[in-house]
């Protein structure tokens, strides 16, 4: 039995690398469904095999970078770098830069049924629907897909947190179009770009919220001429769908016509893969979230039954979790997990980075890309989109 004496499959390697390049590799690896260490391995092997001269890369501000390479590759890489009279950090920077060039990001192709649609909701306010909506959208855009965030809450927290101004009572808006009160303005003209230094490119967009949406429930109940009141949101968003791979709707804490419209929009369309589009329910690990959950589930059941809709419950996201709060938090989390269906698809910790990102009006994955909350958002994204 000599297995214990065999060298490990991988060995730890520490090299200096510019932080910006490190982040680009991390993002591109995620977009392509690779582990970061596998991406670095591919880059190093390609650099060694390519005998042509490699253009120099700016390595200013390089910081410690640790990865794991297959056993023996590090020694081979160092040997080739010496033979080419290249500093090791310069050789790695060249390898990774060329790997990025040769492996452009891919994204999920739109299906005939339109983009994937996520409706993020709960009847209870303050559970963090907005933070989860934004985090998922950022995670998907980071992976290379085109994403539209729809701020469907008249409180407009999503719009403000991403650094934009809510639409006023007198402005054209999604809500006014849903009611047939605004026909001249194209919704595309209202869509804004979520700024990012390097993560999202031009792939993450926002349809800002409007304070006029406070009137939606009452006006939908009495508005004449609407063919199907529950389809008003979909009728307006259809014009935007061809531009996106994913549409994410951040819902208000409501059980009225507004929520019915959001749920209808998130239904499984004819020909669409089951559990592709659907509903994400954001809760906290405490008792009042459970009460609100029951009310929401009753509304979902009633709407699905009354209109013969397929409404996929994609999962529960437990937000703002802190085990230090003791038995109530830990037992509540276990209670959500014990439900089984819908499953708990993410647990997001209650940490300062999200609040700081809101304060400075930046996306979390841009403001604190290495934070635990950002990692949890990425894990949730992978759970949803694969």
pLDDT band at residue 19 under the 50/70/90 scheme: confident
Considering the chain, what is the average pLDDT of its residues? Answer: 87
| Region of poorest pLDDT, from 15-24, 97-106, 201-210, 247-256 | 97-106
pLDDT at 109 > cutoff 90 = no
Domain edges within the chain: 8-102, 116-385
pLDDT tens across 189-203, in order? 999 999 876 678 889
How many whole angstroms separate alpha carbon 304 and alpha carbon 231? 13
- pLDDT attached to residue 184: 83
Rounded to an integer, what distance in angstroms lies between the CA atom of residue 220 and that of residue 293? 24
> Which residues, listed in sequence order, are joined to residue 210 by a DSSP beta bridge?
167
Report how far residue 220's alpha carbon sits from residue 353's, in angstroms, rounded to the nearest whole number. Answer: 38
Q: Are 97 and 54 in contact (CB under 8 A)?
A: no
Mean pLDDT of 111-140: 88
How confident is the model at residue 328, as a pLDDT? 82
pLDDT at 226: 58
Identify the CA nearest to 246 among candidates 329, 133, 94.
133
Average pLDDT estimate for 282-286 = 86
Report the interhelical angle of 88-102 vs 73-83 (nearest 10°): 100
**Per-residue pLDDT for 6 more than 50?**
no
Phi, psi at 321, each rounded to 5°: -85, 135
The torsion angles phi and psi of 295, rounded to 5 degrees, stand at -65, -45
Residue 284: per-residue pLDDT: 84
Query: Residue written as tokens 């419209």?
Result: 261
In whole angstroms, what is the distance from residue 351 CA to residue 53 CA? 47
209-268 pLDDT, tens digit per residue, is 999 999 998 998 887 665 678 899 999 999 999 999 999 999 998 888 999 999 999 999
Whole-prediction pTM: 0.74
pLDDT at residue 227 in the model = 60
pLDDT at 4: 40
Burial of 228 (0-12, 13-18, 19+ CB in 10 A): exposed
Same fold: 8-102 with 116-385: no
Q: Higher-confidence residue: 1 or 239?
A: 239
Indicate the pLDDT class of residue 31, thresholds 50, 70 and 90. low
Question: Between the CA of residue 73 and those of 43, 88, 225, 374, what are the distances in Å?
Answer: 12, 13, 70, 31
What is the total residue count of the chain? 386
Fold (topology level) of 8-102 = Arc Repressor Mutant (1.10.1220)
Other beta carbons within 10 angstroms of residue 351's beta carbon come to 17
Report which of residues 353 and 223 the model is more confident about: 353
What pLDDT is stored for residue 265 in this prediction?
A: 96
**Residue 46 CB coordination number (10 Å):** 14
State residue 16's pLDDT score. 86
Of the candidates 76, 84, 21, the residue with the CA atom closest to the CA atom of residue 54? 84
The residue among 113 and 189 whose pLDDT is bigger is: 189
Q: What percentage of residues in the chain have a pLDDT greater than 90?
A: 45
Among the residues of 4-87, which ranges form H helices? 19-31, 36-49, 73-83
Q: 12-16, 27-31, 53-57 — which one is most confidently predicted on average?
A: 12-16
pLDDT at residue 274 greater than cutoff 60: yes
**Contact between 141 and 149 (Cβ < 8 Å):** no
Q: Which residues of 281-311 are buried (b: 16+ CB within 10 A; e: fewer)?
A: bbbbbeeebbebbeebeebbeebeeeeeeeb
What the block records as the tokens of 93 is 């920077």
Beta strands 147-151 and 246-250 are: parallel
What does the pLDDT look like over 54-94, one tens digit per residue? 888 888 888 888 888 898 898 999 999 899 888 889 989 99
Q: Which of 47-56, 107-116, 257-266 has the lowest mean pLDDT?
A: 107-116
Contact (CB, 8 A) for 264 and 309? yes
168 neighbors 211 (Cβ within 8 angstroms): yes
Q: What is the pLDDT averaged over residues 338-350?
A: 91
Concatenating the DSSP letter of every residue in 158-176 gives HHHHTT-PPB-TTS--HHH
Helices (H), 84-128: 88-102
Binning pLDDT at 50, 70 and 90, where does residue 10 land?
A: confident
CATH superfamily of 116-385: P-loop containing nucleotide triphosphate hydrolases (3.40.50.300)
β-strand partners of 12: 68
């Amino acid at each position: 039995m000599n297995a214990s004496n065999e060298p490990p499959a991988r060995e730890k390697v520490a090299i200096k690398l510019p932080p910006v390049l490190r982040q680009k590799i991390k993002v591109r690896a995620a977009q392509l469904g690779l582990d970061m260490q596998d991406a670095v391995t591919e880059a190093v092997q390609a650099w060694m095999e390519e005998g042509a001269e490699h253009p120099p890369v700016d390595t200013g501000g390089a910081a410690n970078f640790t990865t794991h390479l297959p056993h023996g590759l590090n020694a081979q890489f160092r040997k080739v770098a010496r033979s080419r009279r290249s500093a090791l950090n310069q050789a790695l920077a060249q390898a990774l830069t060329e790997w990025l060039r040769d492996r452009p990001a891919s994204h999920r192709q739109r299906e005939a049924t339109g983009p994937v649609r996520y409706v993020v909701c709960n009847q209870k306010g303050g559970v963090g629907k907005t933070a989860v909506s934004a985090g998922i959208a950022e995670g998907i855009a980071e992976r290379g897909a085109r994403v539209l965030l729809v701020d469907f809450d008249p409180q407009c927290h999503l719009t403000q947190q991403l650094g934009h101004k809510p639409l006023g009572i007198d402005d054209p808006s999604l809500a006014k179009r849903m009611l047939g009160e605004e026909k001249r303005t194209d919704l595309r003209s209202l869509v804004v770009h979520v700024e990012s230094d390097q993560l999202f490119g031009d792939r993450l967009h926002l349809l800002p919220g409007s304070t006029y949406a406070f009137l939606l429930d009452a006006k939908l109940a009495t508005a004449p001429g609407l063919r199907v009141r529950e389809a008003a949101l979909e009728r307006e968003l259809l014009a935007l769908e061809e531009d996106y791979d994913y549409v994410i709707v951040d819902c208000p804490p409501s059980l009225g016509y507004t929520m019915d419209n959001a749920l209808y929009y998130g239904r499984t369309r004819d020909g669409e893969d089951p559990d592709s589009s659907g509903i994400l329910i954001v809760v906290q690990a405490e008792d009042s979230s459970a009460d609100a959950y029951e009310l929401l589930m009753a509304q979902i059941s009633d709407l699905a039954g009354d209109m013969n809709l397929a409404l996929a419950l994609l999962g529960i996201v437990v937000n703002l979790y802190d085990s230090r709060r003791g038995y109530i938090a830990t037992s509540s989390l276990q209670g959500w997990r014990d439900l089984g269906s819908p499953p708990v698809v993410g647990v997001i910790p209650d940490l300062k980075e999200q609040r700081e990102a809101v304060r400075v009006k930046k996306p979390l994955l841009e403001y604190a890309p290495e934070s635990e909350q950002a990692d949890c958002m990425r894990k949730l994204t992978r759970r949803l989109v694969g």
